[in-house]
Each structure stands twice: as C-alpha cells, then as structure tokens.
Structure 1
Amino acid sequence: MKARTCWEAVCTVDDLVADSGIAVWTDDGPVAVFYLPHRLPALFAISHTDPFSGSNVLARGITGDINGEPVVASPLYKQHFNLRSGQCLEDESVQVKVYPVLLDGNRIRLEVPVAQAASVAA
C-alpha cells in the first residue's frame, strides 16, 4: 500500500535565491529547496539534514555540477549530494530523501507524506 501524500506549499518564488538553497519546514521535517535557474528543472528539494552530522545545514551548502549532475556540498564535511537522487557521491551507502517539487503560480509546493494522525482523521 502506497503512503498517502499531499502537495504542501512551503514558500514563494520570491523567497528563492538563484544558485542556492533555502530551508523550509514541512510536515515531514526540514527540507532544503534549491533554485538553479540555468537548469531544467530549476527546482530541487532534498532533506535539510546532513546524514553525517545530523545537523540541519544542507540548504546552506554550495551548489554545483559534477559530471553533468546538479549537486550540493554539505557545509560541514563537504560530501556532495546529487539533487536529483539524493545519493552521496563520496559514500554510496548514504542517501538523503528527495522531494518532488511543483511550481504553482507563485508558490513552491513539495510532495510530502501525510501524517498518520491526519490520515486517521480524514
């Protein structure tokens, strides 16, 4: 059985900064949203939590391109995470969660799991 999800509005286009990330809070926890205007798609979202330190810092990482793939380098230990897959490039056993992103007018929406309590009440 597939988990229920919803498209949660997390910020607006005006909140985004080109070639960098911002941190947003979702029902699923902290998420880093990246805006890379020179790419298609231009929006990416991954967990904001660095799996190596447990700190919420990935939105503050430096974005770049490695072998044609968009990445962010963690500001703490410098591991690179693929923004499409969440895969750590330095350690294949580590991956961060990736969230589908939708541009809805001026709003940025992320597909996040519906909380269990909300599922029961619905």
Structure 2
Amino acid sequence: MSFEKICHISSIVPGTGVCALVNGQQVAVFRPSEAEHVFAISNTDPFFQSNVLSRGLICEHQGELWVASPLKKQRFNLATGQCMEDERFNVKSYPARVTNGDVEIAG
C-alpha cells in the first residue's frame, strides 16, 4: 500500500476537515481532536453527488465518530464510510496516518 503526503497535521484545525486530491479523487480528511490522528473518506455526498463532506460537522454517536453532510445532515462513519441513515449510500474510506507530523493517505 502506497501512502501520499497531503499536508502537515498543523494545517488541519482540530475538529474540522479539509479536502485533498488523492490519485485524482477528492478525499475528505478529518482531524477530530488535538491528537495527531486523522480519518479519510470520499468527499462526495452520495445523496447529491456533491463534493462537500469535508465541510461537514464531526459528531459522536455510540462511541464512534461520524461526519454530518452539510447538505441534508446524513451521517457517515469516519472509520468505515458507512452511512447511518441508509447503507445503500456508504462512501469509500481510505487508510490515513500521521508520520512525523505529515498527514498521509493511501489511495
């Protein structure tokens, strides 16, 4: 598995997401807290085919982290890409890590 350097962890404000281009695909990268831990899922909201998930709100439900789409608030699991409201609309999740302060995503 090949990882691509996206940015330095300090470039992502804790509690937010950013969008990155990985192998020609828009990927939403989230840093839920001050910790150097990130998640990556497809940036495309499958309900509307709009690249907006990186602008969604991070939330917690039953001990797991989700992002609520800024459009109609459907929630997607940050670790798996599963859609809470309708599993037919799951999104792709990407392996993500922080190495020496650099955020890396595997495409």
TM tier, smaller: over 0.9
Is contact 2:37–2:97 with CA below 8 Å preserved after alignment? no
Name the % identity: 41
2:3 to 7, 28, 32: 7
Unaligned runs of at least 5 residues, structure 2: none
Task: Report the TM-score when normalising by structure 1.
Answer: 0.82
Q: How many residues align?
A: 107
> CA RMSD for the aligned pairs?
1.5
- After superposition, residues 1-122 of structure 1 pair within 5 angstroms as 5-37=1-33, 42-112=37-107
- Distance in 2 separating the partners of 1:80 and 1:107: 27
Q: Distance in 1 between matches of 2:87 and 2:95?
A: 22
Deviation of 1:28 (Å): 4.2
Unmatched runs of 5 consecutive residues or more in structure 1: 113-122
Q: Distance in 2 between matches of 1:42 and 1:11?
A: 13
Seen in structure 2, the aligned counterparts of structure 1 residues 15 and 38 have a Cα distance that, compared at 3 Å, is closer
Q: 1:91 to 1:71 in 2, by over 3 A?
A: same
User: Deviation at 1:17?
Assistant: 0.9
C-alpha displacement of 1:106: 2.2
Work out which of the two has the higher radius of gyration on C-alpha atoms and give 1 or 2.
Answer: 1
* Amino acid in structure 2 at the alignment position of 1:35: R
Structure 1 outlier segments of 4+, above 6 Å: none
| TM-score, reference length from structure 2 | 0.92
Deviations 1:25-64 (A, max 9, x none): 111400010001267x831000011111111100000001
